[in-house]
């Protein structure tokens, strides 16, 4: 009985948050407020300059519970780089249907930001009993001119959608900053950018730390991002090779865009 | 231990490489030993595992290894790379230990380059895969169709049994109708030009399945002039769930697509 009480306290949301705040046995993500809430990554999109973006939305009920063929109600929430909600789209996908959602360059002319995709289906089977949340971590394609679509899969469990349509951020934050050391170098390309977004409603501070080829610290850029904002941060320091990100978001893994002679590479750091 | 691999490509104008780091991505989620390690190349010769020391890597440094940097004897072989603080004898097979235990996973940058551009992803094969009986269910929307576009499918299989075996991968549409089959090998970086696939008229999803063996399914697309690339893997089925007993649904999805 005592063990059960201790375990329940350990699992309680308050204890979880406090452990994160103090960086004492922190967790990467928070638990959604209710058992039936859907979760989404905060995906980057861009129609800036010659960029095009698309996303393959697939019926997740068919992916998770293929034995229960059913419709999937999709809610796409699109934000610009300043965190303004600029579109709220509802779709229904038939069983096993996949929809190609292309960001309209006329509608979203020369702007960029991030978006959520939340799924809802009537029959959740035994997902709630097994304490699982449906999570959109699918595939975004980016393209310039006549190149191929360059795909990236979802990377975070960024937020859940509350019944009142408010966003609940699931990214863990701390009073102390933690470092994410990217396992990639940057000398091979001619221009480099990090895409960082903030699925939380509160402002978050970031430091981009530059290191030379001997892993010697050179300099840093300080950034702050308001709630639901997105930034494309150009890496401008001379002679840097490696990057670390320091943030109050415990697990801050950005998207990397490297530009080469003819095209670009995009991936999760 | 995690293992890394070269995405060998039949086009000699393409270079495959891995960039390996001797440091965990986050100190707070790792118990790494902050010391130099030995980088080993693992490969199969005469149905036996062999390994060779490539170099010692100092703590907090990285090394870019191109496939073409390796000795000529590795040119046509699948080579798996890892790091350990141990000294291995040359007959030791890939093994699993806590050397690279970390959250998030300790990855390397796995890249394909041409003289015009490059594409990469942060990847690894967890050592825990070595003794698992894996199957494959990969639902891929990554295929791109156009006059000047080619798609390639990679399946990277690694397991501790050095006997190279053939296994069949079936490519299905969303109605489970068989479109085609390909034959892969175990402990091998399998690569196929998917030019035999035509655009599906009513959907974007192709399903690659195998009951016998699994691996990491990776999709590479290029314009044939090698001026633009795309590279990404599909998620394992449980990645569409957050928290809870996710493995149960992985089994359900595999049972559905593998007709088990």
Six token digits for residue A15: 């204890």
- Looking at A135, A151, A169, which one is the last position of a domain? A169
Residues from chain B that touch A96, judged by Cβ atoms under 8 A, are: 174-175, 203, 205
Which one-letter DSSP state was computed for residue A125? T
A201 and A165 in a single domain? The answer is: no
B259 and B139 in a single domain? The answer is: yes
A142 and A213 in a single domain? The answer is: no
> ∠ CA A79-A98-A171 to the nearest 5 degrees?
40
CATH of the domain at A182: 2.60.290.11
Domain presence at residue A128: yes
Specify the pLDDT at position A27.
84
A54 and A75 in a single domain? The answer is: yes
- Looking at B104, B126, B148, which one is the last position of a domain? B126
A137/B232 Cβ within 8 A: no
Q: How far is A64 from chain B (nearest CA, A)?
A: 6
B252 and B136 in a single domain? The answer is: yes
Neighbours of B95 (CB within 10 A): 17
- Residues A227-250 pLDDT 10s: 999 999 999 999 999 999 999 999
B223/A148 Cβ within 8 A: yes
Q: Which stretches of chain B are assigned E, i.e. beta strand?
A: 2-5, 15-21, 37-45, 48-57, 62-66, 80-84, 108-113, 118-123, 125-126, 136-140, 149-157, 166-172, 178-185, 188-193, 206-210, 216-223, 229-233, 241-242
Q: How far is B75 from chain A (nearest CA, A)?
A: 23
- Looking at B89, B108, B126, which one is the last position of a domain? B126
Count the domains in chain A.
2
- Looking at A169, A202, A224, which one is the last position of a domain? A169
B83 and B145 in a single domain? The answer is: no
Domain presence at residue A31: no
- Looking at B93, B110, B126, which one is the last position of a domain? B126
The pLDDT of A47-61, averaged and rounded, is 95
Q: Which of residues 110-169 of B touch A (CB under 8 A)?
A: 113, 115-122, 139, 141-142, 144, 149
A118 and A214 in a single domain? The answer is: no
Specify the pLDDT at position A5.
52
Specify the pLDDT at position B67.
97
A162 and A180 in a single domain? The answer is: no
A116 and A224 in a single domain? The answer is: no
Residues from chain A that touch B209, judged by Cβ atoms under 8 A, are: none
- Residues B176-223 pLDDT 10s: 999 999 999 999 999 999 999 988 767 899 999 999 899 999 999 999
pLDDT at A30 over 60: yes
A152 and A227 in a single domain? The answer is: no
pLDDT at A3 over 90: no
Q: Average pLDDT over chain A, rounded to whole?
A: 93
pLDDT at A1 over 70: no
CATH of the domain at B198: 2.60.290
Specify the pLDDT at position A21.
82
B86 and B52 in a single domain? The answer is: yes
pLDDT at A177 over 70: yes
Q: Is cis: bond before B104, omega within 30 of 0? A: yes
Range of the domain at A210: 173-268
pLDDT at A10 over 60: no
B140 and B260 in a single domain? The answer is: yes
Specify the pLDDT at position A8.
54
Q: Which stretches of chain A are assigned E, i.e. beta strand?
A: 39-40, 43-46, 51-58, 72-80, 85-93, 98-102, 112-120, 133-136, 139-144, 150-153, 159-161, 167-169, 173-181, 191-197, 204-211, 217-225, 230-234, 242-249, 255-259, 264-268
B16 and B116 in a single domain? The answer is: yes
* Residues in a beta bridge with B240: none
Kindly indicate the confidence band of residue B28, based on its pLDDT and cuts at 50, 70 and 90: confident
B143 and B245 in a single domain? The answer is: yes
- Residues A248-260 pLDDT 10s: 999 999 999 999 9
- Residues B42-99 pLDDT 10s: 999 999 999 999 999 999 999 999 999 999 999 999 999 999 999 999 999 999 998 8
Six token digits for residue A33: 């407020």
A150 and A216 in a single domain? The answer is: no
ipTM of the complex: 0.95
Count the domains in chain B.
2
Residues from chain A that touch B224, judged by Cβ atoms under 8 A, are: none
Kindly indicate the confidence band of residue A191, based on its pLDDT and cuts at 50, 70 and 90: very high
As a 3-state breakdown, chain A gives helix, strand, coil percent values, each rounded to 5, of 10, 45, 45
- Residues A129-165 pLDDT 10s: 999 999 999 999 999 999 999 999 998 999 999 999 9
A156 and A121 in a single domain? The answer is: yes
Q: Which of residues 190-219 of B touch A (CB under 8 A)?
A: 203-205, 219
Domain presence at residue A79: yes
B168 and B245 in a single domain? The answer is: yes
Range of the domain at B17: 1-126
- Looking at A169, A201, A217, which one is the last position of a domain? A169
For residue A147, give the nearest of B23, B142, B223 by CB distance.
B223
B27/A63 Cβ within 8 A: no
A188 and A86 in a single domain? The answer is: no
A62 and A106 in a single domain? The answer is: yes
pTM: 0.94
């Amino acid at each position: 009985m005592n063990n059960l009480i201790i375990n329940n306290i350990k699992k309680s949301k308050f204890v979880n948050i406090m452990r994160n705040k103090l960086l004492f046995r922190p967790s990467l993500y928070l638990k959604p407020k209710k058992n039936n809430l859907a979760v989404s990554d905060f995906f980057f999109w861009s129609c800036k300059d010659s960029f095009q973006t698309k996303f393959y939305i697939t019926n997740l009920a068919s992916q998770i519970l293929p034995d229960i063929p059913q419709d999937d109600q999709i809610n796409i929430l699109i934000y610009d780089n300043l965190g303004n909600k600029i579109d709220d789209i509802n779709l229904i996908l038939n069983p096993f249907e996949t929809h190609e959602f292309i960001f309209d360059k006329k509608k979203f002319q020369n702007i960029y930001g991030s978006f959520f995709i939340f799924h809802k289906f009537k029959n959740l089977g035994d997902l709630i009993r097994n304490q699982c949340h449906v999570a959109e971590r699918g595939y975004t394609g980016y393209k310039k001119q006549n190149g191929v679509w360059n795909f990236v899969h979802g990377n975070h469990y960024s937020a859940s959608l509350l019944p009142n349509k408010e966003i609940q951020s699931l990214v863990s934050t701390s009073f102390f900053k933690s470092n994410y050391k990217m396992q990639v170098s940057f000398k091979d390309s001619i221009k480099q950018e990090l895409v960082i977004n903030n699925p939380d409603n509160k402002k978050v501070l970031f430091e981009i730390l530059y290191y030379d080829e001997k892993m010697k610290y050179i300099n840093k850029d300080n950034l702050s991002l308001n709630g639901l904002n997105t930034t494309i941060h150009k890496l401008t320091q001379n002679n840097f090779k490696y990057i670390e990100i320091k943030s109050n978001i415990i697990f801050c893994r950005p998207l990397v865009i490297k530009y080469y002679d003819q095209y670009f590479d995009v991936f999760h750091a | 231990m995690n293992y890394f691999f070269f995405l060998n490509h039949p086009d000699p104008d393409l270079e495959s490489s891995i960039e390996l780091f001797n440091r965990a991505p986050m100190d707070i989620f790792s118990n790494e030993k902050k010391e130099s390690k030995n980088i080993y190349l693992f490969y199969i010769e005469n149905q036996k595992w062999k390994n060779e020391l490539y170099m010692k890597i100092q703590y907090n440094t990285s090394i870019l290894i191109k496939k073409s940097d390796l000795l000529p004897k590795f040119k046509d072989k699948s080579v798996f790379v890892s790091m350990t603080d141990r000294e291995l004898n040359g007959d030791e097979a890939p093994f699993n230990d806590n050397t690279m235990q970390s959250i998030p996973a300790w990855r390397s940058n796995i890249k394909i380059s041409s003289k015009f551009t490059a594409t990469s992803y942060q990847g690894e094969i967890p050592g825990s895969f070595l003794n698992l009986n894996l199957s494959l269910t990969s639902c891929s929307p990554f295929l791109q169709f156009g006059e000047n576009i080619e798609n390639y499918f990679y399946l990277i299989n690694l397991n501790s049994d050095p006997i190279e075996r053939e296994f069949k991968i079936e490519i299905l549409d969303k109605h489970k109708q068989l479109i085609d089959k390909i034959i892969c090998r175990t402990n091998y970086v399998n690569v196929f030009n998917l030019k035999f696939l035509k655009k599906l008229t009513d959907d974007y999803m192709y399903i690659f399945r195998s009951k016998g063996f699994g691996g990491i399914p990776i999709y590479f697309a290029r314009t044939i002039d090698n001026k633009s690339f795309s590279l990404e893997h599909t998620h394992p089925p449980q990645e569409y769930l957050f928290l809870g007993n996710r493995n149960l649904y992985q089994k359900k999805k595999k049972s559905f697509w593998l007709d088990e």
